[in-house]
Amino acid sequence: MMPKLVSGVLAPVMALLAAIVITSGVVVFVGASPVDFWEVMLSWPSNRNVLTVLNQASMIFLSGTAAAIGFRMNLFNIGVEGQYRVASYVAAVFAGGAFLPGALNIVASIVLAMLAGAAWAAIPAVLKVTRGVSEVISTIMLNAIAVFLTGYLLSNYGEKAADTRRTTPLEDSTMLGGFKLFEDKDGAVWTLSLLAVVVGFLFWFIINRTRFGFDLRATGMNESAAVASGVSVKRMVVTAMMLSGAVAGLIWLPNLFAETASGNYFSSSVFQSGLGFTGIAVALLGRNNPVGIALGSLLFAFLGVQSTQLEFAGVDVSNDVVLVTQGVIVLTIVIAYEVVGRWRAAADQRAVRAALDANANKQEVAA
């Protein structure tokens, strides 16, 4: 039998190699030197950028986990993007309002963000179980609605700042300092990046160790068998979708509450959009399991941060070429997992046959 570790590592390695080859091809095609390109991309980042990679990775991880909760039961929550946008806005309004003192304000904002994300995710869930609307369609549309909704609210109720509108910035007492791993000027790992660790552990524990997680996985693996086993699929759809949305609500909070981040309010320039889609890619890359998602998040954050160096290093390639790399990784990983999965299934079957031949005499005959 193929060792589990080998088969687990093989697919990502194959995908990475393919991504390197194809990206190099693109780099050559646009007339730059792939050697220079990879030299920049694979160089060790500066201290400041190490921290940026960690902060970005934690947000991507939260997003990947949010997507993975849905994926685990074949629920395609493409709406993480909209859910964390709405949740971030709600949290920023509440936290900026400073209704509660210091730490309490932070905790309340976190809870509120989760509730807002869950509520935004509940819309497609309810549409799906009552009306049979595909969650793929409705979440994509809700992403667009989220952009307009937050934009509308900002421009009507937001505070004027220069030529833009924003939510009221957080008071100093509700901001978190973070962990300064290097010198002060390099910045810090945002405090709420720790949410990624907490969420990662809870995700693993709930999925693998609880009855609820079992029901969720069973529904994902074989819905009709789950129904026959007594799972109420409708209830699971709503619960899983809302959990997914609640986790999505956390995505941008590390940034919002970080003293060292560029802005402690919600505005169209400060809010980092797109993390919801990156999360989907990373969930695919990490096979919906927490360790895989963590590695995928680090890889994507690393590639994203490194690509900003291309310009400074004088490599004549747009840093958007890294999107090609990321895209190719996701595409090839799906294929690679499938190939490796087939090898494993065949190996399993050989193992069963071998084990049975060893001790059994007569085997089956069937219709």
Partner 1 sequence: MATAPQGSTADGGNSVSVQGITKRFPGVVANHDVDITIRGGTVHALIGENGAGKSTLMKILYGVQKPDEGTITVAGQQVSFSSPTDAIKVGIGMVFQHFMLADNLTVLENVVLGAEKLHGIGDKARAEIVRISDAYGFDLDPDDLVERLGVGQRQRVEILKVLFRGAKIIILDEPTAVLVPQEVDALFANLRELRASGHTILFISHKLDEVLAIADDITVMRRGTTVGEADPKTATKLELAELMVGSELPSPETEESTVTDVVLLELSDVSLLDDRGRHLLRDIDLTIHKGEVLGIAGVEGNGQAELVETIMAMRKGTGTVRLAGNDIAKANTRERRELGIGFVPEDRHRHGLLLDAPLWENRVLGHQTREPNITGPLINRRDARKDTQRIIDAYDVRTPSMDTHARALSGGNQQKLIVGREMSGDPVLLIAAHPTRGVDVGAQAAIWDHIKRARREGLAVLLISADLDELIGLSDRIEVILRGRLVGEFDPRTVTPQDLGSAMTGGQDAETKDETTSTSNGEGAAS
101-109, 157-165, 230-238, 242-250 -> range binding partner 1 (CB under 8 A): 230-238
The answer to whether the beta carbons of residues 254 and 55 sit under 8 Å apart is yes
Q: How many residues bind partner 1 (CB under 8 A)?
A: 36
State how far the Cα of 53 lies from the Cα of 47, in Å rounded to an integer: 10
**Which residues in 165-224 contact partner 1 (CB under 8 A)?**
208-215, 217-218, 221-222, 224
Q: Is 354 exposed, middle or buried (0-12, 13-18, 19+ CB in 10 A)?
A: exposed
Those residues whose C-beta lies under 8 Å from the C-beta of residue 83, and which sit 6 or more positions away, are: 66, 77, 117, 120, 121, 146, 244, 245, 248, 249, 276
| Min separation Cβ 337 and partner 1, Å | 13
- Specify the residue, 162 or 366, whose C-beta has the smaller distance to partner 1: 366
- Specify the residue, 5 or 228, whose C-beta has the smaller distance to partner 1: 228
* Complete DSSP assignment for 66-122: HHHHHHTTT---TTHHHHHHHHHHHHHHHHHHT-S-HHHHHHHHHHHHHHHHHHHHH
By CB under 8 A, residue 5 contacts partner 1: no
Q: Is 136 exposed, middle or buried (0-12, 13-18, 19+ CB in 10 A)?
A: middle
By CB under 8 A, residue 338 contacts partner 1: no
48-56, 106-114, 239-247, 352-360 -> range binding partner 1 (CB under 8 A): 352-360
| Min separation Cβ 338 and partner 1, Å | 13
| Min separation Cβ 330 and partner 1, Å | 22
State how far the Cα of 229 lies from the Cα of 285, in Å rounded to an integer: 30
By CB under 8 A, residue 362 contacts partner 1: yes
Return the residue of 30, 104, 197, 225 that touches partner 1, per CB under 8 A: 225
75-83, 245-253, 276-284, 341-349 -> range binding partner 1 (CB under 8 A): 341-349
118-126, 258-266, 303-311, 347-355 -> range binding partner 1 (CB under 8 A): 347-355
Quick count: other Cβ atoms within 10 Å of Cβ 336?
A: 20
Binding site for partner 1 (CB under 8 A): 208-215, 217-218, 221-222, 224-232, 345, 348-349, 351-352, 354-356, 360, 362-367
